[in-house]
Structure 1
Amino acid sequence: MEYRSILVHLDGSERASACLDLALLVARQHGAHLNALFAPVTTDHESAWSVSFDTGYRERTREDTRRALEHQFLNGLSQANLKGTWRTAMKHAQQELLALSPFADLIVVGQSDPHDPDASLSNRLQVQVTLAAGRPVLWAPYVGTFPTVGERIVVAWDAGQSATRALYDALPFMQLAGHTTIVTLNAEREGRIPGADIALVLARHRIDVEITHLHTPPTVSVADALLSRVDKLGSDLLVMGAYGHARWKELVLGGVTQTVLGSMPVPVMMSH
């Protein structure tokens, strides 16, 4: 597998520019075609906004944001000698994003700023795409700048279905990485030395990895321990399975997945 077609969702928030920068960086690394979808999330309080303020204010703000992001997108393509496509969808962001997902090798979304009044709706869209698109999703943190991604990788591994899919979806990153660490979780699930079998498989792909085991005391959650290991190793990409639970009319994240996505220090690539 190679990342030849990348889809980035730009929601019009203040962090959309950083999300686009991350997508352009990954596209340059892999020589990929980059599709950008500008699709602001429709908020529940939009009608209240229009009553309190000029009805055209939000539309003008969105149009200014769209123009700035499209200029950044086209300029980034030109500088990197890449090809790409720009799309705009002012309504039904989730529907548009899921419709384009089958044609992407990788989807890039931005973590919502918890202080943004629209954050809950944006998070809902990002979670739904991660759990329902069937494609690997790279999350860009809402804070920080990331001059590199995928040079030092941590892969969370428990030999489960989602972790397995995430690991194989991340092969293009690992093949270019300077260092990859497999952090084993729930090691008792594996019959032999934890991580040994998957390390052997990766060696056949000419990928050398380091294996480390995560042992968490009762007072420390698995998610917190994993994020601490990412920080200790100086990693610039975390790869893990996205675990979710089906509930009436929606999909919701599992505990570890939700914690990681709520406080990610580096970009996180997830598969479900």
Structure 2
Amino acid sequence: MEYRSILVHLDGSERASACLDLALLVARRHGAHVNALFAPEPIEHESAWSMTLDVGYRGQTREDSRRALEHQFFNGLSQAKLEGTWRTATAPALEALLALSPFADLIVMSQSDPAALDTSLANRLQARVTLAAGRPVLWVPFAGTFPTVGERIVVAWDAGQSATRALYDALPFMRLAAHTTIVTLNAEREGRIPGADIALVLARHGIGVEVTQLHTPPTVSVASALLARVEKLCGDLLVMGAYGHARWKELLLGGVTQTVLGAMPVPVLMSH
């Protein structure tokens, strides 16, 4: 598989511009068509917003954001010599994203502002898309700048179904990466040296990897240890299954904890 069609969700937040820039960066590297979907907060968010903001002001703010992002999108396409399509959603964001997801090789979405009024609802949108779209989703951290994505990749590997799906969905990134590290967890699933079998498979794809094992003391969560390892390795992309380890499942289906989605230092590619 190659990334030839990228769908980027633009929610109208302050971070949407950075999300768009990253999607264009990935598209330029892979020669992909970019489908930009402007779809602000889902309808279920409206009750929270209506308590604090005037409806007319909110509508004008969204329109201003749409115009700015649309200009940035077409300007970015022109500079990168890429092709793309702009869409403004007429349906709720989740419905619109799932309708377009079958036609995307990769979906790009921004993490919500941890300080926002409706963060739990917004991050739930990203989680729902990740779990329901059947396509890999690249989560862009709310804070930080990312001049590179996929140069130094860290893959969380436990030989489970979701981790396997994520690894194969990330092959286009790994083929172009300068360095890829397989970080093994739950090593008892594998019959011999943890990570050796998948490293051999990747070698047949012409991809050389380094394999290392993650040992977590009882007082440290798997997610915290994994993010610390990403930072230590100077990774610019973390690849992991939406779940595939019992503790990851709790993190991602139990409300999307701050550990992974509130503190990720680099973009995270997730598959389910």
- TM bin, normalised by shorter chain, reads over 0.9
**Is 1:181 aligned to residue 181 of structure 2?**
yes
Aligned to 2:8: 8
Aligned to 1:27: 27
CA contact (8 A) 2:48 2:118 kept: no
Q: Secondary structure at the match of 1:265?
A: coil
Query: 1:47 Cα deviation (Å)?
Result: 5.4
Query: 1:46 Cα deviation (Å)?
Result: 3.2
Aligned to 2:229: 229
CA contact (8 A) 2:8 2:35 kept: yes
The one-letter amino acid paired with 1:6 is: I
Which structure 2 residues correspond to residues 51-66 of structure 1 after superposition, within 5 A? 54-66=54-66
The one-letter amino acid paired with 1:199 is: A
CA contact (8 A) 1:106 1:136 kept: yes
Q: Secondary structure at the match of 2:165?
A: helix
Q: How many residues are treated as equivalent by the alignment?
A: 267
- Structure 1: where are the runs of 5+ without partners? 246-250
Q: TM-score by structure 2 length?
A: 0.93
The one-letter amino acid paired with 2:83 is: K
Which structure 2 residues correspond to residues 83-122 of structure 1 after superposition, within 5 A? 83-122=83-122
Query: 1:117 Cα deviation (Å)?
Result: 1.5
Rounded Cα–Cα distance in structure 2 between residues aligned with 1:161 and 1:99: 25
Query: 1:57 Cα deviation (Å)?
Result: 1.0
State percent identity of aligned pairs.
Answer: 80
Q: Secondary structure at the match of 2:55?
A: coil
Q: Secondary structure at the match of 1:183?
A: strand
| Cα distance change on mapping 1:55 and 1:193 into 2, 3 Å | closer
Q: Which moved more, 1:14-23 or 1:51-60?
A: 51-60
CA contact (8 A) 1:131 1:244 kept: no
CA contact (8 A) 2:123 2:256 kept: no
Query: 1:54 Cα deviation (Å)?
Result: 4.3
**Is 1:193 aligned to residue 175 of structure 2?**
no
Deviations 1:198-238 (A, max 9, x none): 00000000000000000111111111110000000000000
Aligned to 1:220: 220
Q: Which moved more, 1:14-23 or 1:254-263?
A: 254-263
The one-letter amino acid paired with 1:239 is: V
CA contact (8 A) 1:244 1:252 kept: no
Deviations 1:93-145 (A, max 9, x none): 10000000000000000000111113222111100000010000000000000
Rounded Cα–Cα distance in structure 2 between residues aligned with 1:129 and 1:45: 16
Query: 1:39 Cα deviation (Å)?
Result: 0.2
Deviations 1:154-184 (A, max 9, x none): 0000000000000000000000000000000
Aligned to 1:156: 156
Q: Secondary structure at the match of 1:74?
A: helix
Aligned to 1:69: 69
**Aligned-pair Cα RMSD in Å:** 2.1
Aligned to 1:253: 252
Rounded Cα–Cα distance in structure 2 between residues aligned with 1:255 and 1:230: 23
CA contact (8 A) 1:43 1:118 kept: no
Rounded Cα–Cα distance in structure 1 between residues aligned with 2:215 and 2:185: 8
| Cα distance change on mapping 1:55 and 1:194 into 2, 3 Å | closer
Q: TM-score by structure 1 length?
A: 0.93
Aligned to 1:248: none
Query: 1:91 Cα deviation (Å)?
Result: 4.0
Rounded Cα–Cα distance in structure 2 between residues aligned with 1:224 and 1:138: 19
Query: 1:189 Cα deviation (Å)?
Result: 0.9
The one-letter amino acid paired with 1:119 is: T
